[in-house]
């Protein structure tokens, strides 16, 4: 199902208290260009660093999801990310003057209202989805949580939870379509048991906790002593505790509010994939820690499965052939990448149009022209070189040399008229080293070439980049 990317129409700001830090934080929501993704910017720190919302940046999951990049942290991101996923907002930056996304009402509803107040703006580029071809299953060894993702053309979720305490017991929640997110999931608040709060507070969490912004359960009919302790702790009277009394459950927004909130958290954590997901996700006993491990395993699976990346071949490229020439030393007839459609921190998508006028066709099976396999690997190498070189200053001063080509396989012949989609993903972080004599970077990349839906070539490439004037 094709949808356009979205951002917001105008800048909007708000202030609130951070749930765990207890600090008053101002947040400003800023529209961003196509393919920017979801970002957080710490405007209170020198150089105002940016932390992208991606699974690789998750560093903690106790009572929330925390991101960190280059020692810059942003905590409690899950409700905000759920609101963005629920309204299908792709490109936006939340600027913060503190280390945590401020809490509004313990759910995602306040964020939904802010986004709608700012207005949603469609952008002239299609959404890029993650899809799967067959069922994906993840069993979390630490929590016994279980996740199953089924292929589908839309995005739906089903969550079941099981607590051996009143009143939760066994509950489930379902969201059949994101179009119902605001009405059915966004308002579900975080929940906690009364006897858990003091211990979490003493661990440094819930410092900004507001008892009116959460569902608090107690399986004691008269928790007066604990309530007095909380009143002293937070300097706020706690009146909305759900106890085993007939009228108490009326304080819930939904009879299954805990299960709906777990589904809300799951939506937010899955958004850390970096792009929307298509499929039917069924989760048993989801929680932040298990969610993050599931998302990491799923992303690894998605990058390794032989599925062509989502790429609009008619869209404006991020790099055209002239810009590519400024990064790579190759020239005709050996420049084998025509344009770069997508260039991220860990992946790149390039395009090579194969025509009958390629000079190698004159001598390579002239009666049955086939692109030589070695040139297919060279096209992957050049594409992966762009991925690595855009991370270094003065990329034109570097030369790239092969150190190894592993697990190279050719799955389909490439012939004139084919459009090659060159997809390369970093397998490890790029390793940089500098001495008095030379600067060197080592990159290990998984590269694949697709023609339409068909995998044509794949290989693991290990390359070394050396400054041109220092090459030996």
Just list the catalytic residues. Answer: 288, 364
Rounded distance, CA 171 to CA 188, Å? 14
Q: How many CA atoms lie within 13 A of 264 on its CB side?
A: 30
Rounded distance, CA 13 to CA 29, Å? 6
Rounded distance, CA 90 to CA 6, Å? 5
Residues comprising the chain, all counted: 472
Those residues whose C-beta lies under 8 Å from the C-beta of residue 452, and which sit 6 or more positions away, are 308
Rounded distance, CA 395 to CA 393, Å? 6
Rounded distance, CA 457 to CA 411, Å? 6
Omega into 87 within 30° of 0, i.e. cis?
Answer: no
DSSP letter for each residue of 221-252: S--HHHHHHHHHHHSS----EE-SSTTGGGG-
Beta bridge pairs of residue 148: 137, 282
Say if residues 447 and 348 touch (Cβ distance below 8 Å). Answer: no
The three-state secondary structure class of 242 is: strand
Residue among 264, 270, 261 at smallest CA distance from 38: 270
């Amino acid at each position: 199902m094709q949808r356009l990317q979205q951002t917001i129409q105008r800048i909007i700001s708000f202030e609130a208290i951070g749930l765990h830090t207890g600090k008053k934080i101002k947040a400003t929501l800023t529209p961003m260009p196509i393919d920017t993704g979801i970002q957080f910017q710490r405007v209170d720190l020198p150089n105002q660093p940016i932390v992208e919302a991606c699974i690789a940046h998750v560093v903690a999951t106790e009572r929330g999801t925390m991101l960190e990049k280059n020692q810059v942290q942003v905590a409690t991101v899950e409700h905000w990310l759920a609101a963005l996923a629920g309204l299908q907002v792709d490109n936006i930056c939340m600027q913060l003057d503190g280390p945590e996304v401020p809490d509004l009402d313990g759910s995602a509803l306040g964020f939904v209202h802010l986004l709608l107040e700012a207005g949603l703006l469609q952008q002239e580029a299609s959404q890029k989805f993650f899809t799967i071809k067959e069922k994906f299953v993840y069993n979390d060894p630490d929590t016994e949580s279980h996740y199953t993702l089924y292929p589908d053309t839309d995005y739906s979720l089903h969550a079941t939870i099981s607590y051996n305490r009143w009143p939760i017991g066994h509950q489930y929640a379902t969201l059949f379509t994101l179009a119902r997110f605001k009405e059915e999931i966004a308002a579900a608040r975080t929940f906690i048991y009364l006897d858990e709060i003091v211990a979490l507070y003493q661990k440094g969490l819930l410092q900004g906790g507001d008892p009116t912004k959460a569902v608090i359960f107690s399986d004691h009919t008269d928790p007066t002593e604990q309530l007095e302790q909380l009143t002293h702790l937070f300097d706020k009277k706690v009146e909305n505790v759900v106890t085993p009394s007939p009228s108490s459950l009326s304080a819930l927004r939904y009879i299954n509010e805990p299960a709906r909130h777990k589904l809300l958290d799951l939506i937010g954590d899955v958004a850390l994939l970096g792009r929307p997901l298509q499929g039917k996700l069924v989760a048993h006993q989801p929680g932040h820690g298990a969610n993050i491990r599931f998302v990491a395993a799923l992303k690894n699976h998605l990058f390794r499965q032989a599925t062509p990346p989502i790429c609009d071949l008619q869209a404006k490229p991020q790099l055209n052939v002239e810009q590519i020439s400024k990064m790579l030393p190759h020239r005709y007839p050996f420049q084998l990448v025509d344009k770069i459609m997508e260039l991220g921190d860990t992946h790149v998508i390039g395009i090579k149009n194969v025509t009958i006028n390629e000079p190698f066709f004159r001598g390579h099976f002239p009666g049955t022209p086939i692109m030589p396999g070695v040139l297919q690997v060279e096209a992957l190498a050049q594409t992966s070189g762009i991925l690595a070189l855009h991370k270094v200053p003065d990329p034109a001063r570097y030369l790239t040399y092969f150190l190894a080509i592993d697990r190279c396989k050719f799955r389909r012949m490439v012939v004139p008229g084919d459009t090659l989609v060159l997809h390369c993903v970093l397998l490890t972080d790029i390793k940089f080293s500098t001495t008095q004599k030379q600067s060197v970077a080592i990159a290990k990349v998984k590269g694949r070439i697709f023609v339409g839906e068909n995998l044509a070539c794949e290989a693991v490439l290990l390359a070394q980049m050396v400054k041109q004037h220092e090459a030996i």
